[in-house]
Structure 1
């Protein structure tokens, strides 16, 4: 498969080297339009100029850039990263473009075991300065670090059921006011809250099976669905498959494949033309172009048409 090879409604614009390891990445856009996402193998970020195809890699003291958001403050770009941690508690940090950590959020102490189970998966920063963190792999909570220093926590109960792996969070301004959208993966739903944390509504549909990350483009909300689909949700709440899935369940070695039948060794998957394997992170540019990452050895970055 060649880089930049066209597909029916998307193209591959970047592929990592499977030999480097996993790409389990979020994705965001810098003020100059470059994409930022995790380097395969972790402990680094890639800055990609889509027009030229040129990329730059920097080292960061983060194992996995699972969730990524960008801010532009006083003429300078900053990158927020959620690292859910593997053998240790996770972390949420703010870095500059040189990879230096300039801020780290303290885990909210909602229970005595909060720090031990702190496994943040996604971050979104509102214009108000509030920072929203989805603790998808930890205690299945949504936290708002308010600009005034307070921390508020939502467990999803106002919707009628508790969160179960709130994997992604994003800011949605389609209504004319900032709202908070959450990809509640195991509950197969996308929820909307106002900035105060009040539950507003939720969307469920047959095409939403494993919602992971979210991004707004124009009047639509785009959602990565882990088993090979990208879903589009209209302002009225109608969900359709922008990129349909070609598989509905995990296969041996998922999201990679077994090197040989019956072995324990896994290698990067073979992906058929026009198919997506395991979409993970997603973002949209100011002019509405949607980009997504895929989770497997090496990984890749997609541009939707």
Structure 2
């Protein structure tokens, strides 16, 4: 057969194969579930209190920065500390999906070369491990909620003096559950897409780690939108809006933080996150279709 007669299509580079990788990976939940648990156990092996170090670290960070920034911004600590605590918990999960997602396949080099498993297994392993860590951090949220429950359930409370009136905790707290699953769903495509790209271009993890520090300070985690509007004053509404609305991580944080602290939430956050989810999964499918078979060679 001549070169002109050879088929041009590679049978392994199809969207059907990509979908099959995802379906097979989800079905092997015993595998990625066990690997995720082992990651946590291995990290705190021979530690006296084990994974509770995750909780203690978050508690110290939230308490220290909450007291500091509530004083600097003259904010009510009863509402600002829960705001900052939940912000840090969600931020750590999102950033973990991005930073650890870029090294998903690099870190699993040994398993990829010796264990015939779908690539999705390793992405799910990363997201599951981060989910377990977030579950430990949520213990801090429940303690903070118990302490400042009265402040958060007060109708029309304000984060800062003269700030936006917040409705207070009510039944909408249950929206945090679908919000988390939506964020976790994004974490899987991020790990797949960035993980594949990073196995080919090893500079990507370093670039992302450098940029994530800047994005942190541009995202309302230790400061609130109220403070931004109050400090900049009139005449800068467009600039203030762009700082928030053009930052996709702001929308991801907001869909889960707002219901957990009884804050007002706009549905446009859900629309933006939903749109990014669809685009992200489309890109991840294209990456799986074209480069799934090359990952074992690149790692």
Q: TM-score, normalised by structure 2?
A: 0.25
Instruction: Report which of the two structures shows the higher radius of gyration computed on alpha carbons.
Output: 2
* TM-score normalised by L of structure 1: 0.25
1 or 2 for the larger relative contact order (CA 8 Å, sep ≥6)? 2
Hey, which of these two has a bigger chunk of helix by percent? 2
